[in-house]
Amino acid sequence: MSWPIGFSDVTGAAERIRPYLSPSPLRSYPTLDDAVGAGIRVLVKHENFLPTGAFKVRNGLSALTALPADALARGVVAASTGNHGQGLAYAGSRLGAAVTICVPVGNNPEKNAAMRALGAAVVEEGRDYDEATEVAARLVRERGFTLVHSTNSPTVVAGAGTLALEVLQAHPGLDAMVIALGGGSQAVGAMTVARELAPRLRVFAVQAAGAAATHDAWHSGVVRTLAKVDTFAEGLATRSVYELTFPALRAGLAGFVTATDAEIADAMRLLLRTTHTLVEGAGAAGLAGLLKLRDTLAGQQVGIVLSGANIDEANLRRVMSREI
């Protein structure tokens, strides 16, 4: 197979976004190590500290800084449940580009408000993320926008790879990373960097059990589109695989697990207790996956990514009251 991006794409993205974004912290917490157990040392990549509270600001900046001036002048459009949209909106505000984000009806209202506050136009249409992508494609045809897909874009995946580049530059001895997977940009970005800088590093993925299309296809080899998804972790709520990332995921991942909403909520509460860090469901999924992989990764140094902190008040209340 042809790998979707190269290491030079990641380093190029890192150069382009450097004027706009400082590296996020990489930290360890003895109390978290004790809670995980099995002699595992956990390295926590705090993408939740980036300007929009999520790693996808890297993707947005990488994509928009790679566009020619005429495309920026026409404007860009994307579908998002929030974090990709916020990342693009932030990038658009820094680069002077108009951004339109298509979200499903009933999307996280706080994420919608954040996108609008950054200057994006938000179109609420479709029953889920996948239908919102169809709305975005229609706007490309009608208005001449440039589509910046959340996953099927090499510059987006290269942007996601910059977080793994920072991890391995700071901690080259890492044994494994456990990465939450919606479309796969983080995981493919991490594998791309590892192939160049740390070939022995293993990358594992975790997906929400209620939105496990990629997990199921990875294990069975049969690609199916789900009729619906059921998870409070909207950053992972996708119904199918993505053509740019899936072949690389199938070829390169060391393992792939799912986590239930209850397990993701447990991981959120554990992070709050041990690191005093509040994240959204997708942001805690890496830890939920690590707990499922504890025996496999015993005695190793393992990186997880707190990929987003943008949980809405209603779901936060459900998590903290143990309704989830």
Please give the positions annotated as active site: 56, 307
316, two tokens: 């936060």
Q: How far apart are CA 4 and CA 9, in angstroms?
A: 10
User: In angstroms, how far apart are the furthest CA atoms of the chain?
Assistant: 56
- Among left, alpha and beta (phi > 0; psi -120 to 50; other), residue 52 is alpha
Question: Count of CB atoms within 10 A of residue 229's CB?
Answer: 19
Say if CB 145 and CB 77 are below 8 A apart. Answer: yes
Q: Looking at the chain, list the stretches that DSSP marks H as alpha helix, in order from N- to C-terminal side.
A: 7-17, 30-36, 56-65, 69-74, 83-95, 109-117, 129-143, 154-170, 185-197, 213-220, 246-252, 261-275, 281-292, 313-320
Reduce the DSSP state of residue 244 to 3 states and report it: coil
The pairing of strands 26-28 and 41-45 is: antiparallel
Q: Check the CA dihedral 58-212-36-248 and report its sign.
A: negative
CB atoms < 10 A from the CB of 69, how many?
Answer: 10
